[in-house]
Amino acid sequence: MFKKLLTKPYRYFLIIIPILIFLGFLIPLRNIRINPDMTRYLPQETESKLNLEKIEEIFGHNDPIIVIFEADDILERESLEKISAIHDSLTESAIISDVMSIFNTKNIRGEDGFMLVDPAIKDIPEDKAQKEELRKEIKNNPLAYKLFVSEDFRYSVMIINPEKGYSDSEIINTTKNIVNSIWGNEKYYMSGMLYLREEIQQKAMQDLVILMPIALLVMIIFLYFSFREKRGVILPMLVVVISTGVSMGLMPLLGYEFSIIAVLIPILMISVANNYGVHIVSKYQELNATNPNASMEQIVLESLRCVANPVILTGLTTIAGVLGLIVHIMLPAKQTGIVCSIGISLALILSLCFIPAILIGMKKGKVNRSFKEKSRTVIDKILYYMANVTVNKPKRIIIIFLVIFLISFVGIFRLNVSINNEKMMSKSHDIRRSTDIINKHFGGTKYISVLFEGDIKDPAVIDEMNELEQLLKSKEQTGSVTSLSSIIRIMSKALNDKNDEAYDKIPDSREAIAQYIEFYNMSGNPEDFEKFVDFNYTKAIVNVQFKAENIKEYNSILNEIQKFCDNSKYAKYQAGISIVEKDMAMSIINGQIYSLILAMITIILLLWLIFRSFRTGLLGTIPLVFTIVCNFGLMGWAGIELDIATSLLSSIALGIGIDYTIHLFWRIKLEIENKKTLSEAIQICLTTTGRGITINAFSVMLGFSVLFLSGILILKTFAFLIIFSLLLCLVCALVLIPAILMMKPEIIVKNIKLNK
Amino acid sequence: MKKQIILITVLSFLSFNLLNAQDAKEIVNKSTKAILSDAMEMTSTLKIYDNKGNVRTRQVKNTTKKFADATKTIIKFLSPADVKGTGMLIFDYEEKDDDMWVYLPSLKKTRRIVSSEKSSSFMGSEFSNSDMSKPKMSDFNYKLLSTETINGKVYYKIETTCKTAETETIEKFKRKITYIEKNTYLPFKTETYDKDNKLIKTITMTDYRLQSTGKYMAFKMTAENNKTGRKSEIIITNLVTSSSLDESYFSTSNLEK
């Protein structure tokens, strides 16, 4: 088949068509857009997203920037003056819709028969006595203390809501410019989903622009040192460039938006796509050295004959692994699976058609030095040593692997899933610092709203809201709970004296509640209520702010609210960005499990088909199971959380890592067929094929190592873990599998006989 | 000679602007005087619409009169039933914070409110409190932009801008354009613009009726929030011009009646 394809005129088609396809796929790349909105990673029909949408439709969409100011004492005249100036400048900006800070929160209270309504800070204190007086006032003001000023008076929070129709970067830049110009060099921190989105957007774009060329350069250098011949670099790189370009072009073409993990796509493609071409070039160089009289056509066709089968098989298993991601629930994971499996398929086809089509038209190259010199490299020495140990002490090796396996297995129980999106950034990042401060001093970064339905002015409804509020306030994790019932209680304290019966109580008549609300509408800002109750007073929400470090802490609050909703007449459901986040975490776990199972089953089936033996298929999965357990075990022990990026890696690692075992089986089988003993077969295999797969594995690891330069923490972690996993797959293939075979030779020997 | 020409040009330019500003201020002054504002008792229906067309309807009785030191107002709810009787008494001083009392029938008591915070919204509607009161003309600059004919009537198009940044912050607008009818000096429409020169609110005043005092009152006022799509409407159902009201009428005991 190859012979016919590689003759004129087909040969030209094989060269021109991929180039045209590549150029065609570059066009949609102009529409590349990164979507850093994590909530869109979940399918639209997810219940938590639908609930959030329903609540946002009534109570408006909230997507504020949070700025935290730090000072030795926030009540110092200079600090307050600056915060006030920032508040005013932001309020005046056309981009900002409203600003909430210590300067526009109120101080509503009852005193000596009066109801007093003042701003929380009426005047900036002039001296120490006034400052201490203000401190006392703030400590007694539930609308300011621990909401806008921290308990230790070191931090003050400003919540900035942008106008609609402006981009995240416009909003962030305006805010930063105003804050920087007034706050000067003093410390401040920014937080909020909007800010995180903007940071991800910028860092992901930077990564795409910087990492891609670096990865390509690394590959070029690696290929040059491997082959020391121009064609050895250019031909595999052409495959890499075309298949990576097509994969990237497919994204906008299929209507996919670039997510934070889309940065992985080009890096994955650059690392993996050269694998197949390398085998062709390597074999060509080998045959060129050993058959000086053969023609170029003979060498190319013979190279194809020798390596086509293992290349196709390893290609198929890699595609199977990556394709496992299509059952992932998170959309970017699914999309990465689809795009990369198409890209890798193309790389496989190009390596078998495009490279030979060009190679066959070239003159014979110089013989590679490494084929002339019989010197042993470090890799050769290590492999030789490994082969000796494996053959002589298989039992000891198996025990060592077993111990590592068990230790790792225990670590899995310590594995956590990430529920905090800000953990995408490094610990020193602004957003991590601000999250720490908010969790420690301001009641947490998680928000949930509980929807109540009914006649909201009915005391029974308000009573239930109050009940939920008190229930949640009793929990340690809860920061603040606010609703119509809390406002009514504040008003009841201001409208009544301490010894009055109605003081700090929910009134027991509908009229009284209606009058409290009407009075507030008359004297206050009616928009204050719109955050809690709809226009017709048929729906209202209780807003809960809390902190949660892990899924267990999350669930303890969510389950409490759910239990309340189940037994309540008026509380209907809970919604909020934090529940969407939790659903994302669950989707990461489930997606991880589904994709892993699919990848595993497909790979077992492929191995079964390739080696026509179910037992060999199962043996082939041992390195995979070992790698997965060690990977999750390491994550558990090291406290690395499962996140959107790390949930992709096991499927990808399996797909790539299985190649090493396939090459190994293939060679051992061949040597046994050539009447070698098992020990001899293993020794030959490790020092020949072993060398090839080691170099191949290191090239892939080198490709992924570029991600260490990423500005996004989870991508760096991904790089570390995938390199660790690939290394394990390699070690398993080179050491564990031969050791098992030495202990149970019938697994492979018997099958050879059977096959014959 | 050349210098003289320049001087004449500059002077004539200045005098044109001065004339223009005076004209505009004069028109606004006449317009303010044409409208009833000193003393009245009125019953009105306040309709507040949200951007989906839902409506809240309140019937309110509003009595107001200007005295030497303050404008005094009693507002009482007539409907809906659950808030009937709820009232507020407000003494609006020029130079100091307002005095306010609230009466909630469910508590059966009047509570004095001391507030340094002035609500910007008039009874929770799209009208602001300053929309409902007479502006202090010395705080603003006025400019006659042009005249415009709408439905056969000629209107002065007057631009109002705040003199100081402080006024801008309090009044929450950058500039306003008011259409004042040339013959009667009655304002028909006011458009409010923000700092970005975006239209944020449109108020229209229609159904002007001549009162016994010789002044006019718009029996229908609409405020449309151009940003949020919300709308509020005040329709006066009964109006009595009562300059005879005694200052003692504006007391807490009257609020509780």
Is residue A624 predicted with pLDDT exceeding 80?
yes
Is residue B55 predicted with pLDDT exceeding 60?
yes
Is residue A751 predicted with pLDDT exceeding 60?
no
**Residues within 8 A of A (CB atoms), B 200-219 only:** none
Smallest CA-to-CA distance from A187 within A78, A81, A72 is with A72
- Is residue B245 included in any domain, yes or no? no
Query: In terms of C-beta density within 10 A (0-12 exposed, 13-18 middle, 19 or more buried), how is residue B15 classed?
Result: exposed
Nearest Cβ partner for B83 among A495, A509, A515: A515
- Is residue B52 included in any domain, yes or no? no
Average pLDDT along chain A:
88
Q: Which residues contact A3 (CB under 8 A, 6 or more apart)?
A: A301
Is residue B107 predicted with pLDDT exceeding 60?
yes
- Is residue B79 included in any domain, yes or no? no
Most confident of A53-62, A257-266, A429-438: A429-438
Strands B187-193 and B216-225: unpaired
Buried b (16+ CB within 10 A) or exposed e, B86-124: bbbbbbbeeeeebbbbbbbbbbebbbebebebebebbbb
What residues does each domain of chain A span?
Answer: 2-36+198-413+583-755, 65-191, 430-575
Cβ separation A115–B82 shorter than 8 A: no
Q: Does B53 touch chain A (CB under 8 A)?
A: no
Q: Cα torsion at B110, B114, B118, B121 (round to 10°)? A: -20
Higher-pLDDT residue of A746 and A735 is A735
Alpha helices in A452-509 (DSSP H): 459-473, 484-495
Q: Pull the structure tokens for residue A56.
A: 């946002």
pLDDT at A2: 63
Nearest Cβ partner for B107 among A92, A512, A521: A512
Q: Cα torsion at A689, A692, A698, A701 (round to 10°)? A: -80
**Residues within 8 A of A (CB atoms), B 91-110 only:** 100, 102, 104-107
Which helix (H) or strand (E) segment is A262 a member of? none
Q: Does A57 touch chain B (CB under 8 A)?
A: no
* Per-residue model confidence as pLDDT tens digits over B7-53: 555 544 444 454 455 588 999 999 988 887 778 899 999 999 988 88
A2-36+198-413+583-755: CATH homologous superfamily?
Answer: Multidrug efflux transporter AcrB transmembrane domain (1.20.1640.10)
Q: Does B56 touch chain A (CB under 8 A)?
A: yes
Cβ separation B117–A512 shorter than 8 A: no
- Cβ A663 vs Cβ A653: under 8 Å: no
Cis before residue A236, ω within 30 degrees of 0? no
Which residue in B has a C-alpha nearest to residue A515's C-alpha? B83
Is residue A570 predicted with pLDDT exceeding 80?
yes
- Is residue B63 included in any domain, yes or no? no
Alpha helices in A570-712 (DSSP H): 577-611, 614-638, 646-673, 678-687, 689-705
Distance between the two ends of chain B, CA-based, in angstroms?
Answer: 78
Q: Pull the structure tokens for residue A311.
A: 């290349």
Average pLDDT along chain B:
84
Least confident interval from A212-221, A425-434, A437-446, B131-140: B131-140
pLDDT at A748: 66
Give the residue from A58, A95, A522 with the most B CB atoms within 10 Å of its CB, the best one to mutate.
A522
**A chain contacts of residue B107, beta-carbon cutoff 8 Å:** 495-496, 502, 512, 515
- Is residue B191 included in any domain, yes or no? yes
pLDDT at A376: 65
Segment A205-211 mean pLDDT: 89
The position carrying tokens 């029974």 is A460
* Per-residue model confidence as pLDDT tens digits over A333-392: 999 999 999 999 999 999 999 999 998 888 887 776 665 555 667 777 888 888 888 888
Smallest CA-to-CA distance from A173 within A90, A234, A287 is with A90
pLDDT at A756: 33
* Per-residue model confidence as pLDDT tens digits over A508-566: 999 999 998 888 777 666 667 778 899 889 999 999 999 988 888 888 999 999 999 99
- Residue A240 pLDDT grade (very low, low, confident, very high; cuts 50, 70, 90): very high
The position carrying tokens 């944020």 is B200
- Is residue B45 included in any domain, yes or no? no
pLDDT at A262: 83
Segment A444-463 mean pLDDT: 93
- Cβ B31 vs Cβ B180: under 8 Å: yes
pLDDT at B53: 85
Is residue A279 predicted with pLDDT exceeding 90?
no
- Cβ B143 vs Cβ B24: under 8 Å: yes
Which residue in A has a C-alpha nearest to residue B107's C-alpha? A512
- Cβ B189 vs Cβ B200: under 8 Å: no
Which residue in B has a C-alpha nearest to residue A97's C-alpha? B227
Q: Pull the structure tokens for residue A608.
A: 């079964």
CB atoms inside a 10 Å sphere around CB B58: 20
Per the structure, the count of domains in chain B is 1
- Residue A77 pLDDT grade (very low, low, confident, very high; cuts 50, 70, 90): very high
Which helix (H) or strand (E) segment is B156 a member of? strand B153-162
- Residue A458 pLDDT grade (very low, low, confident, very high; cuts 50, 70, 90): very high
pLDDT at A27: 86
Q: Pull the structure tokens for residue B172.
A: 């929450």
Strands B231-240 and B39-49: antiparallel
Distance between CA A204 and CA A35 in Å, rounded? 10
pLDDT at A754: 35
Give the residue from A107, A508, A511 with the most B CB atoms within 10 Å of its CB, the best one to mutate.
A511
DSSP helix/strand/coil, B205: strand
- Cβ B10 vs Cβ B2: under 8 Å: no
Cis before residue A119, ω within 30 degrees of 0? no
Query: In terms of C-beta density within 10 A (0-12 exposed, 13-18 middle, 19 or more buried), how is residue A452 classed?
Result: buried
**CA dihedral sign of residues A279, A281, A287, A290:** negative
Distance between CA A333 and CA A326 in Å, rounded? 7
CB atoms inside a 10 Å sphere around CB A173: 13
Cβ separation B104–A519 shorter than 8 A: yes
**CA dihedral sign of residues A483, A486, A490, A492:** positive
pLDDT at A549: 84
Q: Pull the structure tokens for residue A620.
A: 């082939």
Strands B109-115 and A114-119: parallel
Q: Does B114 touch chain A (CB under 8 A)?
A: yes
DSSP helix/strand/coil, A579: helix
DSSP helix/strand/coil, B182: coil
Which helix (H) or strand (E) segment is A520 a member of? helix A510-523
What letter does residue A409 receive in the DSSP assignment?
H
Q: Which residues contact B253 (CB under 8 A, 6 or more apart)?
A: none
Q: Which residues contact B95 (CB under 8 A, 6 or more apart)?
A: none
Higher-pLDDT residue of A255 and B114 is A255
* Torsion angles phi and psi, residue B141, rounded to 5: -105, 140
Q: Does B132 touch chain A (CB under 8 A)?
A: no
Smallest CA-to-CA distance from A237 within A283, A208, A278 is with A278
Segment A205-233 mean pLDDT: 89
- Cβ A161 vs Cβ A97: under 8 Å: yes
Closest-CA distance, A595 to chain B, in angstroms, reads 45
Is residue B229 predicted with pLDDT exceeding 80?
yes
**Residues within 8 A of B (CB atoms), A 94-133 only:** 94, 106, 113-119, 122
Question: What is the share, in percent, of chain A residues with pLDDT greater than 90?
Answer: 40
Distance between CA A441 and CA A152 in Å, rounded? 8
pLDDT at B9: 53
- Cβ A235 vs Cβ A358: under 8 Å: yes
Higher-pLDDT residue of A166 and A117 is A166
- Residue A398 pLDDT grade (very low, low, confident, very high; cuts 50, 70, 90): very high
Q: Which amino acid, A9?
A: P
Q: Does B123 touch chain A (CB under 8 A)?
A: yes
Which residue in B has a C-alpha nearest to residue A103's C-alpha? B117
Q: Which amino acid, A145?
A: Y
Cis before residue A142, ω within 30 degrees of 0? no
Q: Which amino acid, B204?
A: T
Cβ separation A114–B111 shorter than 8 A: yes
Q: Pull the structure tokens for residue A552.
A: 């267990």
- Cβ B163 vs Cβ B140: under 8 Å: yes
Query: In terms of C-beta density within 10 A (0-12 exposed, 13-18 middle, 19 or more buried), how is residue A372 classed?
Result: exposed
Segment A615-621 mean pLDDT: 85
CA-to-CA separations, B94 to A111, B29, B67, B99, B249, in angstroms, rounded: 26, 19, 11, 12, 21
**Domain span including residue B157:** 1-34+127-229
Q: What is the biggest distance separating any 2 CA atoms in chain A, rounded to whole angstroms? A: 111
Q: Does B88 touch chain A (CB under 8 A)?
A: yes
Strand partners, A534: none
- Domain with residue B216: its CATH number is 2.50.20.10
Cβ separation B104–A495 shorter than 8 A: yes
Smallest CA-to-CA distance from A589 within A328, A324, A340 is with A328
Distance between CA A401 and CA A405 in Å, rounded? 6
- Residue A741 pLDDT grade (very low, low, confident, very high; cuts 50, 70, 90): confident
pLDDT at A753: 43
> What is the CATH T-level fold of the domain A65-191, as seen in this structure?
Alpha-Beta Plaits (3.30.70)
Segment A693-717 mean pLDDT: 91
**A chain contacts of residue B169, beta-carbon cutoff 8 Å:** 88, 92
